[in-house]
Chains A and B, each alone.
Chain A
């Protein structure tokens, strides 16, 4: 037998979570004011409009040749110059990712709980130390690493490679260790139950399960790395960003757009390629 309550049961629809989200949005608005943003600044004004329109119009007519009336003798044709810079950009990204993968693999193992399971107490100490190192690696942005290495090595390939490889190793290590820890534990449990050691349990019960996601993430980061390598050009590393910065300074917007479209094309090609590889790994 049940009695009907006098008031229909209800729960507050505007709970603490709503308040929290509103507070975060408000904090965003306050931050904008704090850095001195006025709403009027969000649209161009004066000469700004002309430049903006000129720049956007150039998107439809990317340059096929040097825009400057005369170029120094020996300068390669514009498409060749852009193509070479793009190749170098991809080469920097591939080389940096290779370094990052080699460095990240042991870090990811040591930072994961799955590796240390069943190995006693020493593990958690090492694990936290490695996680600290990983945080340091990735909390410094590649541009800041570039500044640091420019001071140390000057404008050399090592500067570009290390500036990319260090933060990318940190991010790979962090995400890989999380992937390892989130892998389905049941195969590993079955292997432990038939007498596997912690090492063989990990290598044959965890690693193969995690491998599709581990490689998919590496491919995704390779795309990111191409963009980062391009940006390093603004520091003088001879990637596509170097050409973009120079064209931009000379107000050669049609050249800038030719370079941007070419970069977009490369990133799209890489994305399609890595998506196909990912399907092969995961399916």
Chain B
């Protein structure tokens, strides 16, 4: 399977006059696995949404496989979004649909209207087999026909991951996938994501607030603070000074 490359040149994003990202330069090679770390409000989610094609940079350029996203028409934008899988922090699942329906909705970006309608009302054999195989891969194959809101939070997260894989993406983005799980579970979630990305040769970008976890599982760490890239290095070369700069406090208040 192909994997995607991203390149950001001086990307800035502001929402209603508030600067969320400033002059972000970032290059992510196909198949690379990157952790995005930083305190709350650093701009991690916004950066992921830029990579996902949902937020357009207000300044600078964002290149996806060498093509400037800015010039994309509706159809190209859809194709771009369809080829990037995103696991939102809130999972973004429809609670009162079956697990299988949430999973096959991963293909909405690649199918026409009638095929989409059919796949959600009466999923075909191929869809069922693929959904089942992916759910089996993450350990919840027996939940295929359960109502999604009957699953635990951790299981719902895995459904969201499977929906992203069902897309047949070239890149997988996960926003704070361990924000509300205990440390042991957190490690297994990150390992699941890196294993899935490695198996399929996907580019992987995971945002985390826990720098230690990032260094332990991802080969490259990008530190983000106040919308700027503070450091960008291989995990084993992140220095104590980097850590200090990332989470520095002054008088109990994060420095601006």
Q: Which residues of A contact B (CB under 8 A)?
A: 186-187, 189-197, 199-201, 203-205, 208-209, 211-212
Cβ of B248 within 8 Å of any chain A Cβ, yes or no, is no
Can you list 24 contacts pairing A with B, beta carbon distance less than 8 Å? A186-B92, A187-B93, A187-B95, A189-B54, A190-B86, A190-B88, A190-B93, A191-B108, A192-B54, A193-B49, A193-B86, A193-B92, A194-B106, A194-B167, A195-B78, A195-B82, A195-B108, A196-B105, A196-B108, A197-B78, A200-B108, A204-B116, A209-B94, A209-B96
Interface: B109 (CB within 8 A)? yes
- The answer for the CA separation of A192 and B82 in the assembled complex, in Å, is 9
Q: Chain B 89-101 against A: per-residue CB contact (8 Å), 1 yes, 0 no?
A: 0111111110001
> Among the listed B81, B94, B120, which residue makes an inter-chain contact with A193, where contact means beta carbons less than 8 Å apart?
B81
Q: From A211, which residue of chain B is reached at the shortest CB distance?
A: B96
Interface: B164 (CB within 8 A): yes
Kindly state whether residue B32 has any CB partner on chain A within 8 Å: no
Q: Are A186 and B109 in contact (CB under 8 A)?
A: no
Would you call B187 an interface residue if the criterion is a C-beta within 8 Å of the partner chain's C-beta atoms?
Answer: no
Residue from A191, A205, A209 having most chain B Cβ neighbours under 10 A: A191
In the complex, what residue of chain B is closest to A206 when comparing beta carbons? B94
Tell me, yes or no, whether B117 is within 8 Å of chain A by CB: yes
Bound Cα distance from A187 to B120, whole angstroms: 15
User: What string of 1s and 0s marks CB contacts (under 8 Å) between B49-80 and chain A?
Assistant: 10011100000000000000000000000111
The distance from the CB of B169 to the nearest CB of chain A, in whole angstroms, is: 8
Instruction: Say whether B96 contacts A189, CB under 8 Å.
Output: no
Picked from B94, B97, B109, B160, the residue with its CB within 8 Å of the CB of A195 is B109
Contact between A204 and B82, CB atoms less than 8 A apart: no
Residue of B nearest to A185 (CB): B92
How many A-B Cβ pairs are below 8 Å? 77
Q: Which residues of B contact A201 (CB under 8 A)?
A: 108
Q: Point out the residue from A191, A194, A200, A208 that lies within 8 Å of B113, measured CB to CB.
A: A200
Q: Which of B80, B88, B97, B167 lies in contact with A186, CB distance below 8 A? A: B88
Q: Which residues of B contact A187 (CB under 8 A)?
A: 92-95
**A263 CA / B56 CA spacing, docked (Å):** 60
Closest chain-A Cβ to B37's Cβ sits at a distance in Å of: 22
What is the CA–CA distance of A210 and B125 in the complex, to the nearest angstrom? 29
**Contact present for B95 and A196 (CB under 8 Å):** no
Name the residue on B nearest A188 (C-beta).
Answer: B92
Contact, CB under 8 Å: B81 / A205: no
Q: Is there contact, CB below 8 Å, between A186 and B90?
A: yes
CB of B85 within 8 Å of the partner chain: yes
Give the chain A neighbours of B109 by CB distance below 8 A.
194-196
Other contacts beyond A195-B108, A199-B113: 11, CB < 8 A: A190-B92, A193-B81, A194-B86, A194-B167, A195-B79, A195-B81, A195-B110, A195-B167, A196-B105, A197-B113, A204-B94
A193: chain B residues at CB < 8 Å are 49, 52-54, 81, 86, 88, 92
Alpha-carbon distance between A96 and B202 when the two chains are bound, in angstroms: 56
CB-based contact B78/A204 at 8 Å: no
